[in-house]
Amino acid sequence: MDRNYLLSMIKELVSIPSVTESASESLPGEKIFARLSKLDYFRAHPEHLQLADTPLEGSPHRLRSLTARVDAAKKTCRTVLMIGHYDVVGVECYGDIAEHAFSVDELGKIFKAGDDTIYGRGVMDMKCGVAVETAFIEEFAKDRDLFDVNLVMALVGDEENSSAGMRGVLPLLSAMKKEDGLDFLAAIDTEPGEAGQSGAVGPMVFLGTLGKIMPSFYVRGRGAHVGNCYDGFSALLAASHLVSAAEGDPALADPVRGVCQPSWICLDMKAMHTAYSVTVPDKAYAYFNCFTTNNTPAQIVDRMKDIARGALEKASAQTEASYRALLRMGYSGSAFSPQAPSVYTFGELCALARGRLAEKFDAELREFIAALPPGDMRERGIKIVDFAAERSGAEAPYIVVFFLPPWLPVRTDLTKNERDAAVVRAAREIETECAGKYGLEMKEIEFFAGLCDLSYAGGAAGDADIAAFSENMPGWGDIYSISLEDMQSLGMPVVNLGPSGEAPHRKEERLYLSYSLDVFPELLKSMIAKISANCR
């Protein structure tokens, strides 16, 4: 594969400011589509090249995702999927040089780059991988004896946000399997290694990807004037106990095989009011980032219930203790009346509302969701829970546990599945080739910890997991959705093999050329061949 050709394509792709949820996010896909459509193969098989609109929930911008398929010269159903994303994070961190963030040449001057390094937003995360995959499709389209398997490439946007692009192409990939009979042996992502293992540099191969879910809590207290605060129950106090109990709790972490990721981290906690008021807050929410390796959505729901119940009990005990202490100091206001706290799942809350309003509730809920203005999916989901709470008739204080988007299912190939084992063997053969042919040690890592779209290509979630998530996800199917049947039908082994660089999402983001342009493409080509040889 010609190094200068790759370098030129990377620079061209970096020059496109395809920031997530911007008007130009899909422009790289459109450019690549135009590029590939000129090839004789795609002129003869236009149905193998698609630029599809994929839903981008809550955004006014259009999102388009590219799929390109090249069949091997000898007819076969055996297929390898390559995936990648062409959106990038914003450039605010570049400060006064932000105008040059998409110019490899200008940033090279600013950072005094050497011959082996180029700088630019997205240069490693992940427009190098996109360029190499595209070049493979071009090469294979011209010489279909290059591989004895079919190649499908899916390039998407929104990976840096909520993976709307990859979620949107699942039906397209599933249709290739169901209607065209393709047998997907594995999915290869070409994310840079450092994006999946912070602080590590150099050749890396990942045998899976970390999962993520968003445990969320809606707290309902009792409002009261602050002069008679013990008539009320502070939802914000209960929320603070939630965060205090869950934040970083080692018992909530999910280690596997001697490796552990961070425990729960609160991403937002807030009282729900629109204006200043001297009233005890009666509504609040909090939601958390939660990495998963073993824990299922159903198990996490159980943990959430325990945390919620404990937070309500501590808030009640603290309020009662405060009231009794003030009595001894001369306070003569209203007495605090503790009540048994209640905890509901979102599904249970909706059942309460249906019990009161019957079919009217579902009709009103649909109308409410349809009328929600565009915006952040988390904010819209919380509004849906609040809507259901108002109609539930549940007596405060209580907490509702639910999930907010996104959900990325965990995937590992270190299982007893025969095809998973075959892909692991292929990856380890690449490690040996990297050492023997290039004198470079390749690190093997089980989980891509930066989170990536392989979660959906390899999503192996069971029916119980899916039910626990979807039943407790406000706005499921409207403000956020995953084609679960398609995801389950694909469920293929996954591997990430990408270029080398440093500092993803920072202004110093850079790509190391000698490995990324000279070694990585050859290893990727060998990986496809070894997956084919091992998966018989």
Domain harbouring 372, CATH code = 3.30.70.360
Whether residues 54 and 121 fall in one domain: yes
Q: Residue 111 CB: number of other CB atoms within 10 A? A: 16
Which helix (H) or strand (E) element contains residue 400?
strand 398-408
Whether residues 70 and 144 fall in one domain: yes
Query: Which residues have a Cβ under 8 Å from the Cβ of 180 and sit 6 or more positions away?
Result: none
DSSP E strands in 301-428: the ranges are 342-345, 398-408, 411-412
Tens-digit pLDDT profile for residues 40-64:
999 999 999 999 998 888 888 889 9
Whether residues 150 and 234 fall in one domain: no
Whether 122 is in a domain gets the answer yes
* CB distance 202 to 441 below 8 Å: yes
Whether residues 261 and 366 fall in one domain: yes
Whether residues 50 and 73 fall in one domain: yes
pLDDT of residue 60: 85
Q: Determine the 3-state secondary structure of 290 from DSSP.
A: strand
Tens-digit pLDDT profile for residues 360-394:
999 999 999 999 998 999 999 999 999 999 999 99
Whether 77 is in a domain gets the answer yes
- b/e burial code for range 204-238 (CB count within 10 A of at least 16 → b): bbbbbbbbbbbbbbbbbbbbbeeeebbbbbbbbbb
Cis, bond preceding 203 (omega within 30 deg of 0): no
Rounded CA separation 113/394 (Å): 62
pLDDT of residue 46: 98
- pLDDT at 199 > cutoff 90: no
Whether 470 is in a domain gets the answer no
CA distances from 282 to 270, 275, 352 (A): 11, 13, 20
Whether residues 61 and 113 fall in one domain: yes
Whether 387 is in a domain gets the answer yes
354 token code pair: 């249906």
Rounded CA separation 19/299 (Å): 36
Instruction: Give me the number of domains the chain comprises.
Output: 2
Query: Which residues have a Cβ under 8 Å from the Cβ of 45 and sit 6 or more positions away?
Result: 69, 71
Weakest-pLDDT range from 29-43, 466-480, 510-524: 466-480
Side chain identity, residue 469 = F
Rounded CA separation 203/445 (Å): 11
Whether residues 201 and 229 fall in one domain: no
Whether residues 115 and 188 fall in one domain: yes
Whether 175 is in a domain gets the answer yes
pLDDT (mean) for 145-174: 96
* CB distance 210 to 410 below 8 Å: yes
Please give the distance of CA 173 from its chain centroid, rounded to a whole number: 19
The DSSP 8-state label assigned to residue 93 in this structure reads G
pLDDT of residue 486: 94
- pLDDT at 444 > cutoff 90: yes
Whether 402 is in a domain gets the answer yes
Whether 129 is in a domain gets the answer yes
| CATH number of residue 172's parent domain | 3.40.630.10
Beta-ladder partners of 256: 259
459 token code pair: 């999503």
pLDDT of residue 173: 97
Whether residues 451 and 519 fall in one domain: yes
Whether residues 39 and 188 fall in one domain: yes
- pLDDT at 460 > cutoff 80: no
Rounded CA separation 80/188 (Å): 8
Tens-digit pLDDT profile for residues 207-234:
999 999 999 999 999 999 998 899 999 9
pLDDT of residue 471: 94
Whether residues 157 and 241 fall in one domain: no
- As a whole number, the mean pLDDT across the chain is 96
Tens-digit pLDDT profile for residues 418-442:
999 999 999 999 999 999 999 999 9
- pLDDT at 340 > cutoff 90: no
Whether residues 318 and 231 fall in one domain: yes
pLDDT (mean) for 347-366: 96
The DSSP 8-state label assigned to residue 73 in this structure reads S
Q: Determine the 3-state secondary structure of 166 from DSSP.
A: helix
Whether 325 is in a domain gets the answer yes
Rounded CA separation 494/446 (Å): 11
Structural domain containing residue 317: 212-407
